[in-house]
C-alpha cells in the first residue's frame, strides 16, 4: 500500500527510481510519480501520472528525460482524494521547492489545512500529504531539518516520508512513524525504500528505521535522529536472499510461481525445526512454568492470516487443551480485550507491517500479554516489536493474493501447537510421533497435489462463469473454506461466501437454486458423513457441487457431487495445508479465464499500512 523509493548518489536518479517503483508495484497502487533535483534550473522537477508506472516511465522515456542524481519516487494507493495526476505524489509546497512522498494517513490534515489556509496557503490536491509539504514550507526559514521537526510536531497520524528540498540538493530526508521505511546503504550512494525489493539490485545493506526516527541521507552517509532529535547509531543488516526470488522466473504470474514454490517453502520452514523426531524451536524461549500457567491463547491477524488463526484454533485447542480465541486485528484493538500475563498472544502477519495487526499487538502488550509472532518478512515492524518471532522463511511473496505465506504460517502454527502440547503433556506419545511424520511428509504430498493441477484447470474452465459461489465445510474444512472463498473473490471478483455447513439451514440455503455452484469441503474423515448430508441438501435444491475430499472418499463423494477434487491422505490436522492448494489453483485459473489482473487485483494492496 503506497511505495516509497528515494536515491542520492552519483548515477542518474530517475531510472533508479522508476525501476525501484516497479519492484514495489505488488504493494498495490493507482498512480505514480517522481521528483528530482534539476541542477540546471536549481528547481525540483516533478512528474506524476495516474495509472501504471509504465505510463509515467513512457512519459519520461524510462527516466532519460531527467538529469539528476537525487530524487524520490512514489506509488500511491488512494485514501484522501481519488486517483488522479494531481493527487499523486510527490506533493509539493506552494513555491514548488519542497516535495514530499508519503505512505500512511495524516489524521489531523483537515485541521492543519484550515490553519495553513488562514495563512494564505493555497491547496491544489485533496490529499493529506500536501498538508505536510505546505507545513514544512510554512516553517522553513533556511534550516530544512528544523522546519521538518516543527512540522512533524504538529502532525498526527501514521507516516513514512521522503522529503526533498530544492535549497538542499545534497540531502534527502526520511521520516518514519507507524509506516515502514528502510535505509539502504550503498557505495557513494544511499537509498530509502518501503521495502528491500525496491533497492536490492543496488545494495544488500539496510537499516530499519524505528518509529519517530528521522534520517538525513547524503551521498556519503546517513545520519539518524530519534524523536528528540538526538543522534542515534543504526546497525546495518545484510539481506541474504537473491533478487531472483522476487522475480517471475519465467512464470506468467507471481501468484502461480508462489503456489508452485510451496513445497520448497514448507521444507525451508519445517526442516530446521524438526530434528531427530523432535520439534526444536531455537527461536522461541518460553519457560516451562510460563507454558504451564498459560490460561488463554489469543490469535490476532487480518485476512488470510486470520484464516490461519481460524484453522490453528483447532490445532491449539486439540493439542494443548488451552482455550483459544481468534480475533480480527481491526476488532481486537477496539474491543477492550481481556489479556493478562497468562495470555499468549499469537500475532500472524506475512508482511509484518499490517497496521491494524501492529496496533493490536501494541494493545495486547500494554495489557501485559506475551507476544509471539509468526511473520514472513524479516526485520518487519511486527517482528521487531514482538517478544518472540517465528519466521516462516517462505521467501518474498509478491502476488497480492497470499499462497506460500498462508501454508507456511499454518504449518508453523500447527507445529507450535504440537510443541506446546508436548511440553504440557497433553499429546500422547503415539500422536506426537504420527504428527511429526506427517509434517515431514507434507512437502512431498503437496508436490503430488500440484502435479495434478490440470484437473483443477479443467474444473475452473467449467465453472469460471458463475456469478456467485458458496464454500461450505465443518471444523477445519470451514476454516479452509474461508480461505478458498477469499482467494477466489479477491482475484476473480466473483461474489463468494464461506459457511459452516451446519449454518446453511439457518438462512443461506434460501440462496441455493438451480445451477448455484457450491464448493463442498470434506477432508475431515470424522465428519465425512455429515458433509455428505450437506452435499445432498444443496444438491436436492439444484446446486452444482464441486467437492474437495481425500482420496479414500473420492468414490463415495463422486456418487453425489458433480465433480470431485481429491488430495492425498495425511494426518487430519495437516489436511488444510494440502487442501488449500486446489482452492488456490482454482481461484488462479478462474481469474485467468476471466482475464483478471491476477497479481494486482483492483483496490487491493499487498501490505495494508493504513487503518
- Grid cell for residue 516: 448455484
Mark the segment that binds ligand M6R (CB under 6 A) among 49-57, 72-80, 222-230, 350-358: 350-358
* Residue 443 and residue 266 in contact, taking contact as beta carbons nearer than 8 Å: yes
Minimal CA–CA distance to 416: which of 581, 294, 584?
Answer: 294
Minimal CA–CA distance to 577: which of 449, 393, 437, 389?
Answer: 449
Q: Which is nearer to ligand M6R, 203 or 304 (CB)?
A: 304
Helix or strand run (H / E) with residue 177? strand 172-177
Question: Which alpha helices (DSSP H) does 25-141 contain, by range?
Answer: 53-59, 109-118, 129-139
Helix or strand run (H / E) with residue 182? strand 182-185
Binding flag, residue 349, ligand M6R (CB under 6 A)? yes
The single residue among 127, 305, 381, 485 that binds ligand M6R, judged by CB under 6 A, is 305
Q: Which is nearer to ligand M6R, 88 or 350 (CB)?
A: 350
Sign of CA dihedral 380, 401, 494, 537: negative
**Binding-residue total with ligand M6R (CB under 6 A):** 16
Binding flag, residue 587, ligand M6R (CB under 6 A)? no
Q: Which is nearer to ligand M6R, 179 or 607 (CB)?
A: 607
Please identify which of the residues 2, 224, 269, 302 carries the catalytic annotation: 2
* Residue 154 and residue 135 in contact, taking contact as beta carbons nearer than 8 Å: yes
What is the nearest approach in angstroms of ligand M6R to the Cβ of residue 280?
A: 25
The single residue among 101, 182, 260, 302 that binds ligand M6R, judged by CB under 6 A, is 302
The single residue among 178, 490, 572, 599 that binds ligand M6R, judged by CB under 6 A, is 490
Q: Is 538 exposed, middle or buried (0-12, 13-18, 19+ CB in 10 A)?
A: buried
Binding flag, residue 71, ligand M6R (CB under 6 A)? no
Binding flag, residue 584, ligand M6R (CB under 6 A)? no
Mark the segment that binds ligand M6R (CB under 6 A) among 155-163, 254-262, 395-403, 501-509: 395-403
* Residue 312 and residue 299 in contact, taking contact as beta carbons nearer than 8 Å: yes
Helix or strand run (H / E) with residue 307? helix 303-320
Catalytic: 189? Answer: no
Binding flag, residue 103, ligand M6R (CB under 6 A)? no
Mark the segment that binds ligand M6R (CB under 6 A) among 16-24, 176-184, 319-327, 399-407: 399-407
Q: Which is nearer to ligand M6R, 382 or 561 (CB)?
A: 382
The single residue among 57, 88, 93, 304 that binds ligand M6R, judged by CB under 6 A, is 304
* Residue 327 and residue 337 in contact, taking contact as beta carbons nearer than 8 Å: yes
CA-CA-CA-CA dihedral for 137, 140, 145, 146, to nearest 10: -130
Mark the segment that binds ligand M6R (CB under 6 A) among 387-395, 398-406, 446-454, 538-546: 398-406
Binding flag, residue 258, ligand M6R (CB under 6 A)? no
* Residue 264 and residue 447 in contact, taking contact as beta carbons nearer than 8 Å: no
What is the nearest approach in angstroms of ligand M6R to the Cβ of residue 386?
A: 13
Binding flag, residue 303, ligand M6R (CB under 6 A)? yes
Helix or strand run (H / E) with residue 164? strand 157-165
Q: Is 228 exposed, middle or buried (0-12, 13-18, 19+ CB in 10 A)?
A: exposed
The C-alpha atoms of residue 593 and residue 345 are separated, in whole angstroms, by: 41
Binding flag, residue 24, ligand M6R (CB under 6 A)? no
Binding flag, residue 496, ligand M6R (CB under 6 A)? no
The C-alpha atoms of residue 470 and residue 120 are separated, in whole angstroms, by: 56
Query: Reduced to 3 states, what is the DSSP secondary structure of residue 141?
Result: coil
- Grid cell for residue 470: 458458496
Please identify which of the residues 113, 404, 487, 606 carries the catalytic annotation: 606
Catalytic: 168? Answer: no
The single residue among 350, 407, 492, 584 that binds ligand M6R, judged by CB under 6 A, is 350
Mark the segment that binds ligand M6R (CB under 6 A) among 149-157, 394-402, 448-456, 554-562: 394-402
* Residue 92 and residue 41 in contact, taking contact as beta carbons nearer than 8 Å: no
Binding flag, residue 380, ligand M6R (CB under 6 A)? no
Q: Which is nearer to ligand M6R, 76 or 600 (CB)?
A: 600
What is the nearest approach in angstroms of ligand M6R to the Cβ of residue 75?
A: 17
- Grid cell for residue 246: 522476487
Catalytic residues, by residue number, are 2, 606
In the complex, the residues that contact ligand M6R under the rule CB under 6 A are 302-305, 349-351, 354, 357, 400-402, 486, 490, 607-608
Amino acid at each position: 500500500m503506497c511505495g516509497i523509493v528515494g536515491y542520492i548518489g552519483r548515477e542518474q536518479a530517475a531510472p533508479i527510481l522508476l525501476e525501484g517503483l516497479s519492484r514495489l508495484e505488488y504493494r498495490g497502487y493507482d498512480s505514480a510519480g517522481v521528483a528530482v533535483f534539476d541542477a540546471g534550473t536549481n528547481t525540483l522537477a516533478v512528474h506524476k501520472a495516474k495509472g501504471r508506472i509504465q505510463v509515467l516511465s513512457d512519459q519520461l522515456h524510462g527516466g532519460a528525460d531527467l538529469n539528476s542524481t537525487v530524487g524520490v519516487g512514489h506509488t500511491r494507493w488512494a485514501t484522501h482524494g481519488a486517483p488522479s495526476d494531481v493527487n499523486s505524489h510527490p506533493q509539493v509546497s506552494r513555491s514548488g521547492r519542497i516535495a514530499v512522498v508519503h505512505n500512511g494517513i495524516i489524521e489531523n490534515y483537515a485541521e492543519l489545512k484550515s490553519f495553513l489556509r488562514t495563512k494564505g496557503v493555497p491547496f491544489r490536491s485533496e490529499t493529506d500529504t500536501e498538508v505536510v509539504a505546505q507545513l514544512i514550507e510554512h516553517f522553513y526559514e533556511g534550516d530544512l531539518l528544523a522546519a521538518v521537526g516543527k512540522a512533524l510536531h504538529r502532525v498526527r497520524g501514521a507516516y513514512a516520508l521522503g522529503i526533498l528540498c530544492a535549497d538542499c540538493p545534497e540531502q534527502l530526508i526520511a521520516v518514519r512513524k507507524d509506516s515502514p521505511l528502510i535505509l539502504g546503504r550503498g557505495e557513494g550512494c544511499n537509498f530509502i525504500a518501503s521495502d528491500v525489493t525496491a533497492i536490492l539490485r543496488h545494495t544488500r545493506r539496510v537499516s530499519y528505521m524505528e518509529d519517530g526516527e528521522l534520517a538525513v541521507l547524503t551521498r556519503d552517509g546517513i545520519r539518524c535522529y530519534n524523536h528528540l532529535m538526538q543522534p542515534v547509531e543504526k546497525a546495518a543488516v545484510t539481506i541474504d536472499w537473491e533478487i531472483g526470488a522476487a522475480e517471475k522466473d519465467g512464470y506468467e504470474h507471481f501468484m502461480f510461481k508462489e503456489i508452485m514454490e510451496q513445497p520448497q517453502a514448507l521444507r525451508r520452514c519445517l526442516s530446521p525445526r524438526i530434528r531427530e523426531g523432535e520439534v526444536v524451536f531455537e527461536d522461541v524461549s518460553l519457560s516451562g512454568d510460563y507454558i504451564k500457567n498459560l490460561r488463554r491463547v489469543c490469535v490476532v491477524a487480518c485476512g488470510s492470516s486470520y484464516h490461519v488463526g481460524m484453522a490453528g484454533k483447532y490445532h491449539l485447542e486439540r493439542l494443548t487443551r488451552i482455550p483459544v480465541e481468534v480475533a480480527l486485528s481491526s476488532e481486537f484493538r477496539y474491543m477492550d480485550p481481556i489479556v493478562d500475563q497468562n495470555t499468549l498472544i499469537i500475532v500472524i502477519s506475512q508482511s509484518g507491517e499490517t497496521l491494524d495487526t501492529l496496533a493490536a499487538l501494541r494493545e495486547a502488550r500494554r495489557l501485559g500479554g506475551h507476544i509471539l509472532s509468526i511473520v514472513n518478512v524479516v526485520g518487519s515492524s511486527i517482528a521487531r516489536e514482538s517478544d518472540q518471532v517465528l519466521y516462516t522463511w517462505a521467501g518474498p511473496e509478491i502476488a497480492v493474493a497470499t499462497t506460500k505465506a498462508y501454508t507456511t504460517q499454518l504449518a508453523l502454527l500447527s507445529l507450535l501447537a504440537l510443541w506446546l502440547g508436548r511440553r504440557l503433556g497433553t499429546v500422547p506419545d503415539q500422536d506426537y510421533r504420527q504428527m511429526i511424520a506427517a509434517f515431514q511428509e507434507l512437502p512431498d504430498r503437496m508436490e503430488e497435489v500440484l502435479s495434478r493441477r490440470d484437473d483443477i484447470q479443467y474444473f475452473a474452465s467449467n465453472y469460471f462463469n458463475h456469478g456467485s459461489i458458496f464454500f461450505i465445510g465443518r471444523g477445519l474444512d470451514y476454516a479452509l473454506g474461508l480461505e478458498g472463498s477469499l482467494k477466489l473473490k479477491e482475484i476473480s471478483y466473483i461474489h463468494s461466501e464461506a459457511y459452516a455447513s451446519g449454518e446453511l439451514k439457518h438462512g443461506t440455503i434460501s440462496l441455493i437454486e438451480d445451477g448455484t455452484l457450491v464448493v463442498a469441503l470434506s477432508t475431515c474423515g470424522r465428519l465425512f458423513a455429515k458433509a455428505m448430508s450437506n452435499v445432498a441438501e444443496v444438491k436436492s435444491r439444484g446446486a452444482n457441487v464441486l467437492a474437495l475430499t481425500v482420496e479414500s472418499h473420492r468414490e463415495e463423494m463422486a456418487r453425489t457431487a458433480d465433480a470431485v477434487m481429491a488430495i492425498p491422505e495425511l494426518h487430519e490436522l495437516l489436511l488444510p495445508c494440502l487442501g488449500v492448494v486446489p482452492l488456490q489453483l482454482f481461484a488462479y485459473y478462474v481469474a485467468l479465464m476471466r482475464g483478471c489482473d491476477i497479481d494486482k487485483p483492483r483496490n487491493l494492496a499487498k501490505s495494508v499500512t493504513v487503518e
